[in-house]
Amino acid sequence: MTHFPWQEVPLDPKRGSSAGTIALITMDNTPDDPDDFSRPTTLGPAGLLQLRATLDEVEALVAEGPCVAVAITGKPFVFAVGADLKDVARISTPGQARGIAELGHAQLRRLGELGVPSFAFVNGPALGGGFEVALHCTYRTASSTARGIGLPEVALGLVPGWGGTHLVPALVGVEKAVQVVVANPLAQGRTLTAQQARELGLVDVVLDSPDFLEESLAWAARVVSGETTVERPEVDRDQQRWDGVLAAARAAVDAKLHGAAPAPYRALDLLARARTDSGPDAPEGARDAAFAAEDDALAELILTDEFRSGVYSFDLVQRRAKKPAGAPSSKLARPVGKVGVVGAGLMASQLALVFARQLKVPVVLTDLDEARVARGVAWVHGEIAKLAAKGRLSPGAAQRLTANVSGTTDTAEAFGDADLVIEAVFEELSVKQDVFRAVERVVREDCVLMTNTSSLSVTAMASVLEHPERLVGFHFFNPVAVMPLVEVVRTTGETPTDDATLATAFAVGKGLRKSCVLVQDAPAFVVNRLLTRFMSEASVVVDEGTPVEVAERALDDLGLPMSNFELLRLVGPAVALHVAESLHEAFPERFPVSENLRRIVEAGLPGVYEDGSRTLTPQAQELLVLGDSPSSAEQVRERVLSVLADEARRMLDEGVVADPRDIDLCLQLGAGWPAHLGGILPLLDRSGVAERVTGQRFLPRGAASVPA
């Protein structure tokens, strides 16, 4: 439970009591568990009652006269990360849901209604209800080191329900409110840094000081005394502009989710109210009405399947991903001070950039000729220059990073002192085996070898090595800098990947700020295997005679990030065909290869759609051949979900991953499948598809569904 101890301190220590005092409240969950200092502060019902008691005392102090301001901050390095989702997920009735919504509003709003200025000192992550604590205050400071600021509720199946949908647009306008409340959460839970929050106008000042609290108090003193004036631009409340922004946002949500989840639509409805419910011309009682509307939304959304799946997803990403199942002790990891990259194409260059930027070590690319090497290195240097131009790298950091990335055709020179070498060459087993034979001849015995293969057998690659135990699969997803997942592939056989190599892979993944999932060596591993089964079935129904538009829209109600043919354009038809053929070779009865896909590749088309649309190109219309056995949209949906259930069960039976949750984690982080689905397994359980197809559920009953 979070406690709210407070103390009265001089507002300006230099002037003492003559400047008045400030009541400083600290949100702190450590009194209940002093040994778990790293656990983020959350706000549950018991904590909110503690806040009520604290604010009663502070209000009494303010009434006495000497207290001229109130401030609230968090324990060191964290402000608060919102409502305790475990508590919220236990709610099973509309009355309970409304109660937690009303309790949050009743207490947090008091921070802005104390009769004196209030300040939030944001010293670390401030998410959801935690950030709403800050929004209710009159002014906000933020530490320059603070990250993880935002309102992620929509991604979890909720809305910011303790004032966020009213306070954000009132503070920064509707365009920025849409970004913070809807767009960022739906962009894989994007959050803000302190500086980004300042640029949006969500915080008033960013303080770069080792003593953030002291500097914040000094800034508050200057504001209260009038020495510092906080200027905020007037919010444009023109109805046509406001309505236009929300209409565009609704269209963007439709394009992304196709109505699959209710939360973003409810959030947009609430943002629409803020045009008239906030500001100097708001009618009497408008604020109360706005908060009551948030109560209504939360009371409904807390009981939805989408929210239960969102909580399940949140737990996967925030807990399971940070403690990968099956990972050896980190103490076994070898230090990595230099990285070699075999290849200088686009994927290899992306790898070089992420290794150099995140690990801050020298990275050298190699390829068959100087021209390829030069192009690869130039691409990396160009991306570094772009980051510097955008202000994401200082000139000094950009210069050091550029100096750390080089290239050569001499592998002995490049890799002789490397601690890690990763290949990213053509997806052909014999080519990769030749690469590793050559690399093994020039590297040290303790050098870790990695392959970025997307579907080939890592064990088969290791079979040509004198020391096969030092090879590990390290499968990134495209674009490398954005997608957070790495599949760490342990080889099988007599000499599998050893623990030191595995531990190094997990340590490197952590250093790259990626989430790693341990998978056993199997065709296409997890993400590509499931996506290929999905794409194969969705393509075969078209081959059979189902119109493309029917096949494509059959799954719209799931809100997947891309339809089958949109995904085909992203990965590229040639790559999709290669993976499909690899899996067809391994499992011919389950992975048919679409003849239309072959035609697309043979014709050299980048896909079948016009850019950014679901409109078939004239070339695709002429090329596609449809049979005479069409399926209905309902049949397509059932077929696709059925094959996903079948393949997921087979992967679990084969031991490809340790637990069903790892499948959902991989789909979320590697394929961007939405949190409201929980990956895929909660939906397959909830809809009954899992039991119809496999005879059993994937997850314990109630793990990601509304309690009865």
> CA-CA distances (angstroms) from residue 618 to 464, 542, 610?
47, 17, 9
- Computed over every residue of the chain, the mean pLDDT equals 93
If pLDDT is split at 50, 70 and 90, which confidence band does 563 have? confident
Buried b (16+ CB within 10 A) or exposed e, 298-335: bbbbbbbbbbbbbbbbbbbbeebbeebebbbeeebbbe
d(CA 382, CA 644): 41
- Domain boundaries 6-316, corresponding CATH code: 3.90.226.10
Q: 8-21, pLDDT tens digit by residue?
A: 999 876 655 566 89
If pLDDT is split at 50, 70 and 90, which confidence band does 141 have? very high
Every domain range in the chain assigned CATH 1.10.1040.50: 527-655
Residue 674 has pLDDT above 90, yes or no: no
Phi and psi angles of residue 643, each rounded to the nearest 5 degrees, phi first: -70, -30
Cβ proximity of 152 and 111 under 8 Å? no
Helices (H) and strands (E) in the chain, counts: 30, 16
For residue 680, give the amino acid letter: I
Residue 163 has pLDDT above 60, yes or no: yes
Confidence at residue 668, expressed as pLDDT on a 0 to 100 scale = 93
Buried b (16+ CB within 10 A) or exposed e, 565-593: bbbbbebebebbbbbbebbbeeeeebbeb
Confidence at residue 706, expressed as pLDDT on a 0 to 100 scale = 40
- Mean pLDDT, rounded, for 81-97: 85
Here the tokens at position 19 are 């400047």
Confidence at residue 85, expressed as pLDDT on a 0 to 100 scale = 80
In this structure, the strands spanning 67-74 and 118-122 are parallel
Confidence at residue 708, expressed as pLDDT on a 0 to 100 scale = 30
Residue with tokens 């973003």: 264
Confidence at residue 707, expressed as pLDDT on a 0 to 100 scale = 35
Residue 243 has pLDDT above 60, yes or no: yes
If pLDDT is split at 50, 70 and 90, which confidence band does 253 have? very high
d(CA 600, CA 153): 41
Every domain range in the chain assigned CATH 3.90.226.10: 6-316
Every domain range in the chain assigned CATH 3.40.50.720: 330-520
Residue 551 has pLDDT above 80, yes or no: yes
Residue 702 has pLDDT above 70, yes or no: no
Residue 443 has pLDDT above 50, yes or no: yes
- Domain 527-655 top-level CATH class: mainly alpha
Phi and psi angles of residue 406, each rounded to the nearest 5 degrees, phi first: -135, 180
Confidence at residue 447, expressed as pLDDT on a 0 to 100 scale = 98
Give the residue from 535, 525, 617, 519 showing the smallest Cα distance to 570: 535
Q: What whole-number percentage of the chain has pLDDT above 90?
A: 80
If pLDDT is split at 50, 70 and 90, which confidence band does 91 have? confident
Confidence at residue 205, expressed as pLDDT on a 0 to 100 scale = 97
Here the tokens at position 378 are 């130039």
Cβ proximity of 192 and 200 under 8 Å? yes
Q: 605-649, pLDDT tens digit by residue?
A: 998 988 778 889 999 999 999 999 999 999 999 999 999 999 999
For residue 477, give the amino acid letter: F
Q: 30-69, pLDDT tens digit by residue?
A: 755 554 556 788 998 999 999 999 999 999 999 988 899 9
Buried b (16+ CB within 10 A) or exposed e, 148-166: bbbbbbbbbbbbbbbbbbb
Fold exhibited by the domain 330-520: Rossmann fold (3.40.50)
Question: Counting beta carbons within 10 angstroms of the beta carbon of residue 474, is it exposed (0 to 12), middle (13 to 18) or buried (19 or more)?
Answer: buried
Buried b (16+ CB within 10 A) or exposed e, 666-694: bbbbbbbbbbbbbbbbbbbbbeebbeebb
- DSSP structural state of residue 3: B
Q: 444-465, pLDDT tens digit by residue?
A: 999 999 999 998 999 999 999 9
In this structure, the strands spanning 118-122 and 139-143 are parallel
Confidence at residue 379, expressed as pLDDT on a 0 to 100 scale = 97
